[in-house]
Amino acid sequence: MAQESAKWPQEDVLILAIETSCDETAAAVVKNGREVLSNIIYSQIDLHTLYGGVVPEIASRKHIEKINQVIEKALTDAKVTLEQITAVAVTYGPGLVGALLVGVSAAKAIAFALDKPLVGVHHIEGHICANYIENKELEPPFLCLVVSGGHSHLVMVLDYGRYEILGRTRDDAAGEAFDKVARAIGLGYPGGPKIDSVSGQGDPEAIAFPRAKVGDNVYDFSFSGLKSAVLNYLNGCRMKGIPVSQADVAASFQKAVVDVLTEHSMHALEERGVRKFAIAGGVASNGHLRRALEEACRKRNVAFYRPSPILCTDNAAMIGAAGYYEYCKGVRHGWDLNAVPGLKLGERI
Ligand code: KG4
Ligand code: ZN
């Protein structure tokens, strides 16, 4: 069980951060929450591409094989010894249980052997905190759109570690929709970056895909209807013998996703009167989404923040940033820390 009590440190805090929630084996050393001394990511994408998506068992085995090397490299690149580390932070949920367990076990072993504090971090909180790394002036409160392979959340960041979820997806996450549509049009895995690049040659107005409205909560998202509309369009073309333009489908689908994400985000900014807006998660590296949101914020005179693409997709530097604020608030986990695949944002176990 997490122990929490407020205490802000005077001296430098060096966090060794570990992230293994999905298919990236990652470790980083982060100083005082915002200065990245090293950020090592071993991506398993090539391995999973063979199967058209992440295979959980293979991901866990690869994490076991790579975790020690990745941690050692993070320490070497940061020119920091284990003894100099203040605390060890690790993603303990949400994610794939077997994959999470590898990072959690490694973090527990290091923290226990060195008698250093152990801080469990929520993966989505990590994505949000990636924004602090390159924007030293950014502080809560602000609105954040978190769009990844497993999550689509519109979140008010009230304070460090304090969140109010305004909207979430009712079905598929935005990244999941990108991956499924990419597979359907023959682009393969991972779909997001491929749709992002192919759509450059397509016409976003070529096909009128639906923009779903979700009844009772204006901030909620739904992407499964859009995915079905793409599949129906492809089937229709096949049955009528009409050739399909991969680029037009990609561009029109992407425009539908970007329109919905932009509309909901701007609605929330206006209703809440918030002047700062950030994006996070793998889909936040989408060039079209970044440009649309930047332009929408510029028109409203709202400050726009987005992490570099390398800090949008899964990495451990973001876990080091989030871990720092948790550490400063006094969050400490015991040796009974476990992987929690369905961990909710703002929940501490
Ligand atoms: O945050 P992330 O690395 O992992 C999760 O926590 O899920 O997000 C991965 C997701 C995948 O669905 C991937 O297709 C999507 O982010 N993605 C993108 C782009 N780059 C990654 N989606 C759209 N455009 C991109 N450029
Ligand atoms: Zn992620």
Give the pLDDT confidence of 308-343 residue by residue, as tens digits: 999 999 999 999 999 999 999 999 999 999 999 999
Ligand 1 contact, 93 CB (< 6 A): no
Ligand 1 contact, 314 CB (< 6 A): yes
Segment 89-107 mean pLDDT: 98
Segment 91-98 mean pLDDT: 98
Segment 151-179 mean pLDDT: 95
In angstroms, what is the span from residue 85 Cα to ligand 1's centroid? 31
Going along 45-140, which residue ranges are E strands?
A: 87-93, 118-122
Q: Which domains does the chain have, with CATH numbers?
A: 14-131+312-328 (3.30.420.40), 137-309 (3.30.420.40)
> Ligand 1, from 100, 153, 283, 319: best to mutate by most atoms within 8 Å of Cβ?
283
Give the confidence band of 258 by pLDDT, cuts at 50, 70, 90: very high
* Residue 91 identity: T
The SS3 of residue 28 is strand
Burial of 9 (0-12, 13-18, 19+ CB in 10 A): exposed
**Residue 174: pLDDT over 60:** yes
Ligand 1 contact, 191 CB (< 6 A): yes
Q: Which residues contact 237 (CB under 8 A, 6 or more apart)?
A: 243, 244
Burial of 296 (0-12, 13-18, 19+ CB in 10 A): middle
Tokens (6 digits) for 62: 């690869």
Interior angle at CA 296, CA 169 and CA 224, nearest 5: 20
Burial of 316 (0-12, 13-18, 19+ CB in 10 A): buried
Ligand 1 contact, 19 CB (< 6 A): no
In angstroms, what is the span from residue 147 Cα to ligand 1's centroid? 8
Ligand 1 contact, 24 CB (< 6 A): no
Give the closest ligand to the alpha carbon of residue 180.
1
**Residue 206: pLDDT over 80:** yes
Q: Whose CA is nearest to atom 14 of ligand 1?
A: 192
Which residue blocks in 199-335 are alpha helix, DSSP H?
224-240, 246-272, 287-299, 309-312, 317-328
Determine how β-strand 24-31 pairs with β-strand 35-43.
antiparallel
In angstroms, what is the span from residue 182 Cα to ligand 1's centroid? 12
Segment 129-135 mean pLDDT: 98
Summarised one tens digit per residue, pLDDT across range 16-62 is 999 999 999 999 999 999 999 999 999 998 899 888 889 999 999 99
Ligand 1 contact, 149 CB (< 6 A): yes
Q: Whose CA is nearest to atom 10 of ligand 1?
A: 149
Determine how β-strand 162-168 pairs with β-strand 152-159.
antiparallel
**Residue 7: pLDDT over 70:** no
